[in-house]
Amino acid sequence: MSGQHRRRVFRREMAAVITVAAVTAGMLSAVARPALAAVTAPRARPAPAPSVGVSTPSVLAAKTHQPVEFPAKRTPTSATWALPDGQERTVVGAGLINYPDAAGKLQPIDNTPGGRHHAPLRV
């Protein structure tokens, strides 16, 4: 087999491999798109029950047009916020963002210099 013939065979084989890879990638992305859309789509929330004299984070967010945190939904690595449009946003940290206080309730960690959970700055 001549060198020129080997190169032609190699080019054809590579073209076939690239074509198969492109078709497979297109098929996988077509399959993955609906699953990704389901994960990233905002969750539909039921209308909050009317409350008398009790302001939930959802109600406060709608009234103030500012995000309001749900303290009951805190975890050591996440915080959930009620948004003014009625949706919820959960922020997940790479590390701890809340700590348990003496009563066992999770409190946000204050990362500002000189915050209440830091040693005083010494200059």
Query: Residue 9: how many CB atoms within 10 A of its CB?
Result: 11
Higher pLDDT: 36 or 110? It is: 110
Report d(CA 14, CA 32) in Å as an integer: 26
User: What does the pLDDT read at residue 111?
Assistant: 77
pLDDT tens sequence across 73-114: 999 999 999 999 989 999 998 888 898 989 999 999 887 776
